[in-house]
Amino acid sequence: MNQRHAPDTPPRPATRDTTGSPTITAFARSPDGGRGLARDMRVRWALEEVGQPYQVRPLSFQALKEPAYLALHPFGQIPAYAEGSLVLFESGAIVLHIAEHHAGLLPEDADARSRALAWMFAALNTVEPPIIELANARLLEAGQPWSRERLPLVEGRVHDRLAQLANRLGQAKWLDGDFSAGDLLMVAVLLRLQASGMLDAHAKLAAYVARGEARPAYQRAFAAQRAAFEAAPPTG
């Protein structure tokens, strides 16, 4: 998908972009080393699924905390999304906005649509929190005297959640019928576990994630964020 990289300044919500395409914010150089784990990736993926061209405004960590950006994103994080006079933050809200305005990510049938929304919430509210807790336990709490003792508890909570999800998925390809925004967010969340090897204990989920990654739209989004990482000069 065509992208233009704009300078290190936040999107201007009151200014309609002359290309008419939305702008998303992303790390100028992602701390994940271009592995596609930052939350701009799920928005890029959704935009690619629906065939909507977009622009990326890369930002430094410092720029995220400046007042101009905080006016757009109250928590000083990526991604933010600007489209005409609309500015959104929270990756889930942005993916929902994209899914509501384009065909392909939410079913037509009202009940099926509600179930897809339930899976979007489940990905972000029920599955992602224990995964983030595990990342925090491993990275931020590693030096604490109690961290070794606590880690198995945190890992256990992740495994419990994965087992429940694998059980519900069963032999199905996607969570509820055709691929939806619920699957997109769920796969994006589960990908955060890939390097840990924890998905290997849940073969159905590992295969589910691989199906998500194999989608051409995912591949295009991944390549775009990877190219951005590789083009960015190293910091520090």
Ligand X SMILES: N[C@@H](CCC(=O)N[C@@H](CS)C(=O)NCC(=O)O)C(=O)O
> What's the token pair of residue 9?
């300044």
Which residue in the set 64, 158, 188, 221 belongs to the binding site for ligand X (CB under 6 A)?
A: 64
- Answer yes or no whether residue 127 interacts with ligand X by CB under 6 A: no
Beta bridge partners of 5: 56
Which residue in the set 60, 77, 126, 194 belongs to the binding site for ligand X (CB under 6 A)?
A: 77
Spell 98-134 as b/e; 16+ CB within 10 A means b. Answer: bbeeeeebbbeeeeebebbbebbebbbeebbebbebb
- Give the SS3 label for residue 55: strand
- Give the SS3 label for residue 79: coil
Which residue in the set 48, 49, 83, 90 belongs to the binding site for ligand X (CB under 6 A)?
A: 90
- Answer yes or no whether residue 82 interacts with ligand X by CB under 6 A: no
Which residue in the set 38, 56, 189, 205 belongs to the binding site for ligand X (CB under 6 A)?
A: 38
Helix extents (H) in the chain = 40-50, 61-64, 67-70, 91-101, 110-121, 128-139, 147-169, 181-190, 203-214, 216-231
Nearer to ligand X, 77 or 126 (CB): 77
With 0-12 / 13-18 / 19 or more C-beta atoms within 10 angstroms meaning exposed / middle / buried, residue 216 is exposed
- Answer yes or no whether residue 29 interacts with ligand X by CB under 6 A: no
Task: Identify which range of 89-97, 157-165, 175-183, 228-236 contacts ligand X by CB under 6 A.
Answer: 89-97
- Answer yes or no whether residue 198 interacts with ligand X by CB under 6 A: no
- Answer yes or no whether residue 91 interacts with ligand X by CB under 6 A: yes
Phi, psi of 117 (to 5 degrees): -65, -40
Shortest distance, position 191 Cβ to ligand X, whole Å? 12
Lay out the site mask for ligand X across 156-195 (x = CB under 6 A, - = otherwise).
----------------------------------------
Shortest distance, position 80 Cβ to ligand X, whole Å? 9
- Answer yes or no whether residue 60 interacts with ligand X by CB under 6 A: no
Shortest distance, position 176 Cβ to ligand X, whole Å? 22
Q: State how beta strands 86-89 and 55-59 pair.
A: unpaired
Nearer to ligand X, 64 or 116 (CB): 64
Nearer to ligand X, 92 or 212 (CB): 92
Q: Which residue is nearest to ligand X (CB)?
A: 77
The candidate with the shortest Cα–Cα distance to 53, out of 18, 77, 12, is 18
**CA angle at 73 for the pair 182 and 179, rounded to the nearest 5°:** 10
Q: Which residues bind ligand X (CB under 6 A)?
A: 38-39, 64, 76-78, 90-92
